[in-house]
Copies of this chain bind each other. A is one copy, B any other.
């Protein structure tokens, strides 16, 4: 009965890795316990329940994504910043599909401030486009929608029916986004 040294943090990281391997929805207390050679019940000392576990993975993923996006954004402005951010976003989603899926759950009660850094950074991108409220928020929502929509449709295989190169379409979407942000239509 050697003790393994479980921790909420270790469990969360392992759960995130597991999510990337087998899909976020398949992350289960039992599967996670198996990975540590431990009985499922052992996890309940460190994590409230499976919902809590998944919320922790979501927070981890949001933090990682924010880090990556911040690094991509450093020293860039305008379209350069837009493209760097977008590629960091999409890159993270492709490398870590399970973690990315985790970011999409509703973490209501938990931590409403988790999306904050993300929102701050996307606003930073828009600084290069001279938009004032409420246009800025509208543009931000559209931008986020485009990124998330593209990435999740791509992941779900929604673009596989057409031979057109998926990366090429992505870059054209960024061109289009840049164009519309530079010339945001008046209300």
Interface residues of A (CB under 8 A from B): 25, 104-106, 108, 112, 115, 119, 133-135, 137-139, 141-142, 144-150, 152-153, 156-159, 161-162, 164, 168-169, 172-173, 175-180, 183-185, 187
Contacts of A150 in B (CB 8 A): 141-142, 145, 149
Query: Is B175 in contact with A179, judged by CB distance below 8 angstroms?
Result: no
Quickly give the copy total for this chain.
Answer: 2
A8: min CB distance to chain B, Å: 24
A160: nearest residue on chain B (CB-CB)? B112
Given contacts A147-B149, A149-B149, A150-B149, contact A108 B169 (CB under 8 A): no
Out of B119, B153, B173, name the residue touching A161 (CB < 8 Å).
B119
Contacts of A152 in B (CB 8 A): 104, 148-149, 152
